[in-house]
Chains A and B, each alone.
Chain A
Amino acid sequence: MAKSLQDAALNCAQLAGAEYADIRILDMLRESIVVKNGRVESAYRENSAGFGVRVLLGGAWGFSSSRLLSSSEVERVAGEAIEIARATQIVQRKTVELAPAPVVQDAWATPVTKDPFVVPLEDKLSLLKKAVSSIQAAGVSIAEGSMNFWKCNQAFASTEGSRIEQTIVHSGGGISATSVKDGEIQVRSYPNSFRGQYQSGGYEMIEAMNLVDNAERVASEAVALHAARQCPSGTMTVILDGSQLGLQIHESCGHPAELDRALGSEINFAGTSFLTPDKLGGFRYGADIVNIVADATQQTSPGGLGTFAYDDEGVPAQRIHIVRDGIFTGYLSSRETAREIGSQSTGAMRASGWNRIPLVRMTNVSLLPGDSSLGEMIATTKNGIFLCTNRSWSIDDKRLHFQFGTEVGWLVKNGRLAEMVKNPTYSGVTPRFWSSCDAIAGPKEWVIWGTPNCGKGQPEQVMHTGHGASPARFQNVSVGVGYGN
């Protein structure tokens, strides 16, 4: 059925004069389970299916979409996409040209050991209830555990002859303890905040998390934070754990490396980028030891939320350096944006669903491991702070100036972890911050963290992105901003 619908859409577009068209047919399944304070808050399954047709007519884009998978609706939607493209021509200053892409006929699926949609609901609830019960035993106000699963069957076809089928599965989960006492709210989470860790793969990743084994520690740390000293203010050495560093990479490297932002097309909403094309190949983004890649390939980024075989305009997954030896060397790009700078697409066009056009998005933007270790970084720090697990994040519209908060910090004194401090924050300016990086932990501590809530575009699209990171150290960082007078 998919092929006949694809043919109908592409024929309709070509007959109307489109020089290019593609169609994506998606069938998406999602399951969400939340247990809070021993009570099931959500056990929800959602199915959403539909298709989107993108046409290029006279160098102008049009896109339309519908949930109704019928030949008559496909023809109506393709016709509407053509009408929209004609409207685009009313305010057109240049014609869109696409960088070449290989014609591909292929199929791919996320490697999955245990299909999360087959694992019984009772088993998932049993695991969460056990972990939540352990958290509750420590006397916190809110004990929560959650799991989320996504499966997307997608079929792509273009007038250039590409036909690609992919099945992508993402799984995630986590626990958190929230303690409310004397007008103060403290939270500790595991493996990450905002409902945990997410990766491509199946239920096997949930089982590998050891949620129950970490529940008691998380709860006791949340309670202990009330008695901890307020994080001091000043300039100091900062060591970030892998999960916080993952979000730091996302905000201060991933977003500014999106070529559509750099070319100005996101200025009204998500903003622009300080990494303008004139900086490509020569701008010092960070220290020599900083190497950052955008890697969508299964071979070197298994488990990433940005891992696939082909992006949503049929370009093969790639691994490219955004930063090599501290120098800005590459963009996340599409066929259209790459053409504008005389380059090739780096395969980063992704859409959040059947009803959205693909945009330039992060795949897995990762800091490559170094040759240090967390233990060695702490041992060689005289006076600093070790910050863990994101609590808040904010960055300017050019992705230069940021302020992050974490759930917890530990002061580092004379090479040892000292007292716990609460409400830690730090701020900086992206190239200065990354230029101050003097140690990165090695491959043994390197994890691909998942960010399932990246917003961009109008209408807004929420995307899943991956970020490989191991703990790293930064010098002369402003800590403790936000609090005080």
Chain B
Amino acid sequence: MATEALFDRHDREATLDFLEHVLALSTAQQTELVIEADRQSLTRFAGNQIHQNVSEFDCRLSIRAIENGCIGHSSTNKIDEDAISDALQWARDAAHLGNMKAEPAEFAGPQMYASLSNYSQRTADWPPRERATMVSHLVEKCEPKGASAAGAVSNSESVLAVANSNGLRAYHSLTDANFTATVSVNGSTGWCNCYSSDALTLQAARWGKRALGHAVIGRNPRPLEPGRYTVVLAEAAVKDLVELLCWLGLGAQALEEKRSFMCGKIGKRITGKNITLADDAFHPLGIGFPFDYEGIPKQRVVLIEKGTAKSVAYDRAYGSRAGKTSTGHAVPARYTFGPLPLNVVLSPGKSDYVEMLRSLKRGLLVTRFWYCRIVDPAKTLITGQTRDGTFLVEDGKIVCGVRDMRFNESILETFSRAEMISRYLRRIGSTIVPAMKIEDFRFTELVGEQ
């Protein structure tokens, strides 16, 4: 059996041949195999020096077996005959013993996939020396100003392949790179985060310079009274709100269990008319696979259109229960939270960042949030705090840095008060968002004081 060289050459045919071989070993009535293979490296720095520098290579083989209408599941990263036989047997036994109903009763048949190009060989092979050089450029900018840089530079290569006994075969590989930095000057911090599927287009110098600039102008932050402020939320802050909204109610499980804010609201207004949210794995700025963990092609799903609730993401099980077809949003079977939109795009508006700041008579510019958690799921009420660059803006100009504050806000209500939305989008992780200007954002307490 092919083993060690399987993914080193990033070989589609070798991977699918391997899966054919495992399917032939299976004695279950139906079998589904998923390969998740990752090679990733990360260079971490703090105090203007690299302090952690790591690399890993893993490959997980997940097996689902259907016996007499029931399903069992196992996985292993030991790609040898004995370990695979054990995993196949456990999945089959679990199907017999667990009495876990397979929904639908059969795995999907062959599918057609749209092409998606997000692989860069030079990113997959990006050496540690290049990552270190990227760090050194930021450190050289920071040290003369008495600033201290911390952060991480990473590159990764991921393979997802699906094969089942009903003839479905799917394979895709992608790469991603990330640069993030926190720059500190006299206790004031600035922050940046940028992604690209091609490491050489990260623009780390540009974003690092911005983090340094924010740290410098944020020195000696002023405490403000908690209360309602008009805010301009940079993309990273918007991303936290969007991702929590997806988790709270834009997957089919939450809708089926009536936990979702979408429940009873499909076709009705739930937020501002300028809010359109869709899941789109094929967006030009995006990163993702063209199919899900069941091998179903990912569809573009409009979740909220001009403020009106439209739909949620489905996999095959939740789709079959709801009388819908899968939208290609199955997550790995080891997770029990059901299908989720993971390539979400919040549609752009017509403004730009500078216009939004200029329109602020008195308000705050928020770089990012931290530790956002759900307080009341039905109300989409969450809490969190500002971090690494919060500024008072008066008459369209940044006046000074301000002390961080805790907020408690309903995400849907926040999106109903979006006065301006940037026409420029950025990808943060796998989520694509604009900056937004929000009226009356509710800060409840000042943080950071002993």
Contacts and interface: CB of A to CB of B under 8 A. Distances in A.
A396 B385 contact: yes
Contacts of B150: 264-265, 267-268
Contact of B53 (A46, A61, A122, A183): A61
A39 B53 CA distance: 45
A85 interface: yes
Interface string A407-423: 00000000000000001
B87 interface: yes
A85 B52 CA distance: 9
Given A43-B73, A85-B53, A396-B370, A185 B378 contact: yes
A84 B136 CA distance: 15
Given A40-B99, A87-B43, A46 B74 contact: yes
A103 interface: no
Given A73-B4, A180-B258, A87 B53 contact: yes
B375 interface: yes
B264 to A, nearest CB: 9
A50 B79 CA distance: 12
Interface residues of A, number: 85
B44 to A, nearest CB: 6
B47 A265 contact: yes
Interface string A24-37: 00000000101010
Contacts of B72: 43
Contacts of A65: 54-57
Contacts of A180: 257-259, 378
A429 B99 contact: no
A60 interface: yes
A481 B373 contact: no
B182 A93 contact: no
A355 B60 CA distance: 13
Chain B interface size, as a band, is: 35 or more
A264 B336 contact: no
Contacts, number: 265
Contacts of A62: 53, 128
A482 B73 contact: no
Contacts of B50: 60, 87-88, 90-92
A248 interface: no
A187 B223 CA distance: 37
A459 interface: yes
B36 to A, nearest CB: 12
A265 B149 CA distance: 10
B139 interface: yes
Interface stretch (B19-27, B359-367, B440-448): B440-448
Q: Most A CB atoms within 10 A — which of B46, B47, B55, B181? A: B55
A116 B159 CA distance: 33
A183 B378 contact: yes
Given A61-B53, A481-B408, A482-B408, A264 B76 contact: no
B53 A395 contact: no
Contact of A41 (B48, B58, B100, B376): B100
A400 to B, nearest CB: 6
Nearest first, the 4 A-B pairs at minimum CB distance are: A87-B128, A40-B100, A401-B447, A43-B98
12 contacts: A43-B98, A65-B55, A66-B56, A88-B53, A141-B257, A180-B258, A266-B46, A267-B184, A401-B446, A403-B383, A458-B152, A482-B376
Given A184-B378, A265-B46, A396-B387, 19 more contacts: A41-B100, A43-B97, A46-B76, A65-B54, A91-B135, A94-B49, A178-B259, A180-B257, A265-B51, A268-B151, A268-B182, A394-B384, A397-B371, A400-B447, A400-B449, A403-B406, A458-B52, A481-B408, A482-B381
